[in-house]
Structure 1
Amino acid sequence: MAIEGLYKAVRDGDLDKTREFLNSRSEECNMIITKRNETALHIAVANGRVDIVKELVDHPKLAKSLKIRDSIGHTALIRAVVHGNRPMVDCMLKKSPSLINIRSSSGNLPVVMAIDFGQIEMTRHLFRAEDFIADQEIQDHNGATLLTCAIYAGTLDIAWKLIEQRPRLALAIDKYGESGILALASVHRSFPSGRQLGFWKQCIDSCMCIPLAPAINDQAGQSNREAINRSSGICTQEIHDQYYDKLLSEMLQVISESESQQLEAGLVYDAISQAAENGMFEFVSKMLETDRRFLWTEDENKRNIFMLAVLHRQEKIFGILYQQDTTMNYCLTCLDLYENNMLHMAGMMKEEYATRINQISGAALQMQRELQWFKEVETIVLPKYKESKNKGG
């Protein structure tokens, strides 16, 4: 019954009653008091009782409860972190700074839990606390997960700082099975090209004219630089782009120094295919500048980056092919796993792409766009490939 009384006092925010327990039965305040393996401190955090959290943390006999994990493996600090409650977090870290390195039972550091739960400002706060991740810890999935989550959240300043301190994280695998370089290739808004006009909109605005050899430094579409709310974890677009450039440059340096086996393990080839599919022109072109062997990158269906560009109607990626004088013909003769050639790719339409162009009304105009794309590819493939059949006949 005494434990039940402690639970109710903490849950209801009864500071006087809680102090009575601390003064007369402090050992119970250090005990697990619920079926979910929670201490009084866990309950106080869950119910947002900042004053009671401070009272419990400051008690000299309750240091043990700071390190106890509940039934899902969270310390009271981690619980406060995922709730984004900074006063509680600061109170506990002031009492015991080492808590910042105590992981959940699944092996995640508090800062990783913060970004995993979308608590961007809490992530920034913990990240600035100090060099909180020791060398041996930043090399495991925590460092990689923090990096990939920072990229997906748009907090490229955090991602860049991590890569600057630990460059090898670029190829490290996170708890979701992704690497930093793959994450960077998967997020459209991280790239200037991801904010540019799509193929069909450009066709309309230029009287249906497809650009064949886009310039490397093309900055079309970057005039629309809206400031994004700082509280969302993203700086103004200009600063965001600067961090993207720095981040990609750091990763490319690591990639240039890595062996093929390391590149494969770090999902670099997957990242290039993903970037080609997403139309990430800057990413793909800088990858090819770093190492021309990436020209031969293929996805799981044995489709090279130019086949993917055609399939997904990414004209800027396709335009890179025109700059490859010595390898252009070879790229055009490649077949995928199902013996489709480049022209087959132009005749196919991915479901998500069909949805995108259907947003622009007019069946005749849609057909005209598709026909122009097909004819453009047809002009460069070798004659025999215009008549060749795939495995489906």
Structure 2
Amino acid sequence: MDLCKSLKIGDWNAAKEFLNHHPQTISAKITVRGQTALHVAAEAGHVHIVEELVKQMSEEILETKDIYGLTALTQATYYGNYRMAECMLGKNGNLISIPDSEGSIPVVLALIYGHLKLAHYLYLLTPPEILMPENGTMGATVVCEAIHNKALDIALELVRRCPQLVFAQDTIGVSPLLALACMPDYFLSGNRLVFWKRWIYSGIRIQSGGFINDIRLNIQKPAGNRSRSNGKEIIGSGIKHLYEMKLTHFLSNELLSRMKEQLSISNIQQMRTGRVRDAIVRATKEGIFEFVFEMVKADPVFVWSHDAGSRNIFSVAVQYRRAKIFSLIYGLNNKNAFAVYTDSFYSNTLLHMAGMSAASTSLNDIPGAALKMQRELQWFKEVESIVPLRVHGKLNNEGLTPRQLFTKNHEDMMSKGEKWMKDTASSCTVVGALIVTIMFAAVFTVPGGNDQNNGFPIFLNKKLFLVFIVSDALSLFSSSTSVLMFLGILTSRYAEEDFLESLPRKMIIGLSTLFFSIVAMMTAFSAALLLMLHEQSWIFKPVICLASIPISLFVLMQFPLLVAMAFSTYGPSIFDSKMKRWF
């Protein structure tokens, strides 16, 4: 107990004195968990004590396991202590190959717990032969865990060294192919970038030749220090983030390319073991276009991959609203075969899948319930346009046609969309009506007043007065238009088809004219104020700045919605119907 206490609190002098009087305790198990002094010091995180204990221990004692099958190295690996691992392995290199009670060697544990710097170090010391597929599941486990924890350089190097690992399974039956198919963030299709980030991303260059050829040298560096771009330091956290993102995408595509090479020379048994079809279906669910495209391009037979419910990849793409993957169907000559195919559970066709509610995650990037409903209708209409007419009235096991299924599953979304449109229109109507009132009154109370002799405005010949009158008129007419559009929204019948174009068009016109009326109103106010102040230049800039405040607030609050709605209604289709034959 005295020794254990000294080790836990980091008192090496007391522990050393105890060991001098009782040297046999250096190898004894001193806790109820069967831990040695080295276990206790490693668990407590006292590096200086671990270093002293390792000097006094033999290689055999370092291999001692506690009742849970953990060596002291395994204990240090749990906590990601690089110095401890380096110290122990310097004394006994065999520790690198000793698994815990669940069969995981240190490099696997380091990956599982996210200690990537330590994982890179342990991987370099791990004997390659124990990672080969003929010697068990450890190699596949290292690749899968490296993929899951973003240590893609380890996965790529190991797959390049032993390509057969692509089709091996880890301890829980997951293959590297399936592991990569679960990581949408590793591919460009899984990241939505605003235009300026896309511009920076496209300009970043990765030195592919040097990086891949010297990958063993690169993995010796801590994960955070591997970034390099044409010999220049990446400056700025935003650009650094984009560089790291592109580096991840690059490594993922390299790994995918290696897997594709193996796929082209594999046999049926290897494909089954590697769970290739499961991986393709999973990648479809996650929306990883690059993965699905490369796999089916390597062997077009994989286009018939299906899940447990016999849903092919196009049915799955419709179910999860993966437009880019679904667009692959336009490059097939036999797309009707997929269009009439039904699943084994509910006899749902491809059009029935479009009638189901989309997974919530696939609609997260769409603002407003009305736009979500519009996107769902766009999906249904697009699928409806490619399936044979006889599919339109086909009944599933619930006795519902695709259209009936769509109506049933979207009642709640349609109700929320109606409420959202009415609330938005009501709020904007108040603003528009207020502007109409102000601008109508302003034209009869012009700045400077009227000439009592002829009734003409005193500032009639001033240029700024012309600006005031034109701006006032434009604001009045545009705000009146916006009010009428919003009233049209409030009195709409709100049928399903209205959400496709009619309601969004009214909202687009209403918001556009309301925005224009606010700009014109602020212009009229500024012109009137400058006329009354006799065009004093010193007041001009403050007036302009103050007038821009309401305009800026409107832009921040409503303009993104306006752009999104206009793009969704009149922008390019989310489907690539002109896709050419791709195999």
Fold match by TM threshold 0.5: yes
1:65 Cα deviation from its structure 2 partner? 2.7
1:242 Cα deviation from its structure 2 partner? 2.1
What corresponds to 1:390 in structure 2? Answer: 396
Distance in 1 between the 2:347 and 2:225 partners?
46
What corresponds to 1:31 in structure 2? Answer: 28
1:134 Cα deviation from its structure 2 partner? 3.0
Are 2:117 and 2:223, in contact at CA under 8 Å, matched by a contact in 1? no
Given the superposition, is the C-alpha separation of residues 224 and 83 from structure 1 closer, same or farther in structure 2, using an over 3 Å criterion? farther
Deviations, residues 31-72 of structure 1 (Å, cap 9, x unaligned): 111111111110011111212111111115x43331111222
Given the superposition, is the C-alpha separation of residues 357 and 237 from structure 1 closer, same or farther in structure 2, using an over 3 Å criterion? closer
Given the superposition, is the C-alpha separation of residues 122 and 281 from structure 1 closer, same or farther in structure 2, using an over 3 Å criterion? same
1:361 Cα deviation from its structure 2 partner? 4.1
Deviations, residues 225-273 of structure 1 (Å, cap 9, x unaligned): 799x944999722322221122111111222222223212211100001
Structure 1 residue 21 corresponds to structure 2 residue 28: no
Are 1:196 and 1:221, in contact at CA under 8 Å, matched by a contact in 2? no
Given the superposition, is the C-alpha separation of residues 347 and 238 from structure 1 closer, same or farther in structure 2, using an over 3 Å criterion? same
Structure 1 residue 332 corresponds to structure 2 residue 332: no
Structure 1 residue 125 corresponds to structure 2 residue 121: yes
Q: Show the 5 A alignment for 1:87-102.
A: 87-102=83-98
Are 1:185 and 1:280, in contact at CA under 8 Å, matched by a contact in 2? yes
Deviations, residues 10-44 of structure 1 (Å, cap 9, x unaligned): 22222222222333322112011111111111001
Q: Indicate which of 298, 301, 308 corresponds to 1:293.
A: 301
Are 2:351 and 2:387, in contact at CA under 8 Å, matched by a contact in 1? yes
Distance in 2 between the 1:231 and 1:245 partners?
20
What corresponds to 2:257 in structure 1? Answer: 249
Q: Indicate which of 370, 374, 397 corresponds to 1:368.
A: 374
Are 2:284 and 2:325, in contact at CA under 8 Å, matched by a contact in 1? yes
What corresponds to 2:82 in structure 1? Answer: 86
Are 2:186 and 2:252, in contact at CA under 8 Å, matched by a contact in 1? yes
For structure 1, which runs of at least 5 residues remain unmatched after alignment? 203-218
What corresponds to 1:381 in structure 2? Answer: 387
Structure 1 residue 170 corresponds to structure 2 residue 176: no
Distance in 2 between the 1:367 and 1:345 partners?
16
More helix by share: 2
Distance in 1 between the 2:121 and 2:81 partners?
11
Q: Indicate which of 49, 71, 77 corresponds to 2:73.
A: 77
Distance in 2 between the 1:233 and 1:147 partners?
20
Amino acid at match of 2:303: L
Identity score, percent: 39
Distance in 1 between the 2:104 and 2:56 partners?
27
Distance in 2 between the 1:174 and 1:114 partners?
16
Given the superposition, is the C-alpha separation of residues 220 and 336 from structure 1 closer, same or farther in structure 2, using an over 3 Å criterion? farther
Are 1:153 and 1:233, in contact at CA under 8 Å, matched by a contact in 2? no
Q: How many residues get paired? A: 366
Given the superposition, is the C-alpha separation of residues 106 and 89 from structure 1 closer, same or farther in structure 2, using an over 3 Å criterion? same
What corresponds to 1:144 in structure 2? Answer: 140
Distance in 1 between the 2:267 and 2:308 partners?
21
Given the superposition, is the C-alpha separation of residues 139 and 163 from structure 1 closer, same or farther in structure 2, using an over 3 Å criterion? farther
Deviations, residues 149-177 of structure 1 (Å, cap 9, x unaligned): 11111221111011011111111111232
Are 1:273 and 1:305, in contact at CA under 8 Å, matched by a contact in 2? yes
Structure 1 residue 318 corresponds to structure 2 residue 326: yes
Are 1:15 and 1:52, in contact at CA under 8 Å, matched by a contact in 2? yes
Amino acid at match of 2:17: E
Distance in 1 between the 2:288 and 2:262 partners?
20
TM-score in terms of structure 1 length: 0.86
Are 1:306 and 1:321, in contact at CA under 8 Å, matched by a contact in 2? yes
Distance in 1 between the 2:253 and 2:365 partners?
32
Are 1:31 and 1:65, in contact at CA under 8 Å, matched by a contact in 2? no
Are 1:195 and 1:221, in contact at CA under 8 Å, matched by a contact in 2? no
Q: Show the 5 A alignment for 1:214-293.
A: 223=202, 230-231=223-224, 236-293=244-301
Are 2:384 and 2:392, in contact at CA under 8 Å, matched by a contact in 1? yes
What corresponds to 1:59 in structure 2? Answer: 56
1:84 Cα deviation from its structure 2 partner? 1.0
1:126 Cα deviation from its structure 2 partner? 1.1
What corresponds to 1:155 in structure 2? Answer: 151
Are 2:354 and 2:380, in contact at CA under 8 Å, matched by a contact in 1? yes
Are 1:172 and 1:266, in contact at CA under 8 Å, matched by a contact in 2? yes
Secondary structure, aligned partner of 2:386: coil
Distance in 2 between the 1:232 and 1:373 partners?
44
Distance in 2 between the 1:149 and 1:128 partners?
16
Given the superposition, is the C-alpha separation of residues 380 and 221 from structure 1 closer, same or farther in structure 2, using an over 3 Å criterion? farther
Distance in 2 between the 1:28 and 1:137 partners?
41
Query: Which of the pair has more CA radius of gyration?
Result: 2
1:129 Cα deviation from its structure 2 partner? 3.0
Q: Show the 5 A alignment for 1:351-362.
A: 353-354=359-360, 356-357=362-363, 360-362=366-368
Amino acid at match of 1:99: L
Amino acid at match of 1:332: A
What corresponds to 2:519 in structure 1? Answer: none
Distance in 1 between the 2:172 and 2:226 partners?
22
Distance in 2 between the 1:265 and 1:20 partners?
57
Are 2:42 and 2:50, in contact at CA under 8 Å, matched by a contact in 1? yes
Distance in 2 between the 1:6 and 1:137 partners?
44
Q: Show the 5 A alignment for 1:110-121.
A: 110-121=106-117
1:194 Cα deviation from its structure 2 partner? 0.9
* RMSD of Structure 2 on Structure 1 (CA): 2.6
TM-score in terms of structure 2 length: 0.59
Are 1:13 and 1:52, in contact at CA under 8 Å, matched by a contact in 2? yes
Distance in 1 between the 2:309 and 2:203 partners?
37
Distance in 2 between the 1:113 and 1:140 partners?
17
Structure 1 residue 309 corresponds to structure 2 residue 306: no
Secondary structure, aligned partner of 2:357: coil
Distance in 2 between the 1:40 and 1:324 partners?
67
Distance in 2 between the 1:97 and 1:279 partners?
43
Q: Indicate which of 88, 99, 103 corresponds to 1:107.
A: 103
Are 2:70 and 2:100, in contact at CA under 8 Å, matched by a contact in 1? yes
What corresponds to 2:43 in structure 1? Answer: 46
